[in-house]
Amino acid sequence: MDPEGNPAAKVGELSFAALDFESAGERANEAGVPVQVGVAWMHGLVVDPSSFYRSYLRTHRPVTWAAQQLHGITQSDLQDAPEFLSLWPEMKRLLANRWLVAHGAGTEKRYLRAFPLHGFGPWVDTLTLSRKILAGRPSYALSDLAGEFSLEEQARVFLPDFRWHEALSDAVASLLLLRKLIELTEIQNHPAEMLL
C-alpha cells in the first residue's frame, strides 16, 4: 500500500523521498543531535533534481572533533542555521505522501521523532535491502555499494558538489542505490509491498 492508501501501487509508480542527517556526534551518555538534513525525491525511477533540499541545523550542543573530521561541519557553519523544529512545514512538504528512503534508517527515524505523530512513511531501508539482494558483500557501507555500481559518478551528474557524509549527497546516493536494487531484481511492476 502506498502512503495515499492505494493497495495496488507498483514499485515503479511510487514517489520516494530519500532523507539523510549528519550529526554533531555522540558524547558520553548523550545521543547525537542533527546538524544537517538533506532530502531528494525520485518519482518511479526518475530522480528529481528540482526537489533537492539541504539545510544546516542549529544546535546548542558543540559538534565533536570526530564528527567534524567525518563531515566537515563546524560550529561556525551552524551559526545562522534554523533550528530543526522550525523546519516542520518544509519537512512536511518534502516527506508527506512519499515512501521514505534511507541507508540504515534508524538514525533518520530517531531524528524525525522530534515531530510527534508526523505519520511519514512507509520506510525503505537500502541497507536492509542490500543485505538481502546483494548477499555476501564484504561491506554494505553506502560508499562501498555506490563504488561497486558507479553510483558516485551518476550522483555527480545531479549534484556536482557531491561528497560523502554530506546530507544531500548521501540522500541522492541512497536513491540511486534503491533504483539500482530495483533494476537488478526487476521488481518495477511488482506490488510496492515488496520493498517492505
Q: What is the pLDDT of residues 112-168, one digit of tens each?
A: 988 888 889 999 999 999 999 999 999 999 999 999 999 999 999 999 999 999 999
CATH number of 11-195: 3.30.420.10
The answer for 121, left when phi > 0, alpha when psi is -120 to 50, beta otherwise, is: left
pTM for the model: 0.93
How far apart (Å, rounded) are the C-alpha atoms in residues 131 and 128?
A: 5
Digit-coded pLDDT (tens) for 5-45? 555 799 999 999 999 999 988 765 566 789 999 999 999 89
